[in-house]
Amino acid sequence: MRTISILSAALIAASPLAAQAPAKEKAAPAAAHANHDPDHAAHGGALPEGWSARVDRGDAANIKLVPMSGGMHVTMGPSAILWRDADRVNGPFHTVASFARSKAPAHPEAYGMFYGGTALDGEGQKYTYFLVRGDGKFLVRERNGAETRNVTSGWTAHEAIGRADASGKVSDKLEIDASKAGTVRFLVNGTVVHEMAADANAINGLIGLRVNHNLDLHVDGFEVHKVVEGRPAGAGTRN
């Protein structure tokens, strides 16, 4: 994992994991979700140096985040956002990560990335997040304090998104591209699934991962590309 400052990033081509026998994932009522699918005890302990987490509820100690095979393996108890302070932008950016889910959750659970993170350790937390699920659907949503608001029309199916196979495995590459002023594009496996206008101030802030409860994921190639005006294409520094 690394942060790269560039004018334009060469996007890595990827193809979704083909699902030979798609698994059916049906949403459950919120009450049933809470009663029959409690947060697992992941016994994660301390996060890797530089990483922070904020849980929706429960105990952050039940999140396990460990370097593995050149990426990061995430084992969740409660739902949470995960970020590094180094991944803060103040202007146009592009971010990318590949997610591989190893097994099916008890109910449809989502994962992805967020941007525009501010006050993440306080009551006034704000961020916009882009999620996918193993049933081939995506969602863009905004959080403002304790409130959330759908940007897209709820969970939306798209053929570019991988569908879980019979064992629950699924893989997708997600990107958020805010490299052009006034526009944010959301991509899955190289295909734009949603595009929207965005005020310049709305994209500023922290960028990180959003993972829902009880998921077991491998995250690879998480990068934040900070667009710097006045630099030749491909120029930049690598940390």
E strand residue ranges, the chain: 2-6, 51-55, 63-68, 71-76, 80-89, 93-101, 111-118, 126-132, 137-144, 147-150, 156-157, 170-178, 183-188, 191-197, 205-211, 216-227, 236-238
The residues near 105 (Cβ < 8 Å, ≥ 6 apart) are 25, 37, 134, 168, 212, 214, 215
| CA-based nearest residue to 216, from 60, 52, 40 | 40
State whether residue 238 is helix, strand or coil: strand
pLDDT score at 228 = 76
Residues in a beta bridge with 83: 52, 208
Q: Are 224 and 89 in contact (CB under 8 A)?
A: yes
* pLDDT score at 62: 87
Task: Report how far residue 140's alpha carbon sits from residue 155's, in angstroms, rounded to the nearest whole number.
Answer: 9
All structural domains of the chain: 2-9+33-231 (2.60.120.560)
Residues 129-151: tens digit of each pLDDT? 999 999 999 999 999 999 999 99
Q: What is the pLDDT of residue 238?
A: 33
Query: What pLDDT does residue 46 have?
Result: 75
Query: Can you give the pLDDT at residue 227?
Result: 87
- Spell out the alpha helix ranges (H) of the chain: 30-36
Per-residue pLDDT, 130: 98
Distance CA 177, CA 126 (A): 19
For the segment 216-237, what is each residue's pLDDT rounded down to a tens digit? 999 999 999 998 764 533 333 3
Tell me the whole-structure pTM to 2 decimals: 0.81
**Which residues of the chain, if any, have pLDDT below 70?**
1-45, 229-239
Largest CA distance in the chain: 55
At residue 134, φ and ψ (nearest 5 deg) are -70, -5
DSSP symbols for 171-207: EEEEEEEE-STTEEEEEETTEEEEEEE--GGGG-EEE
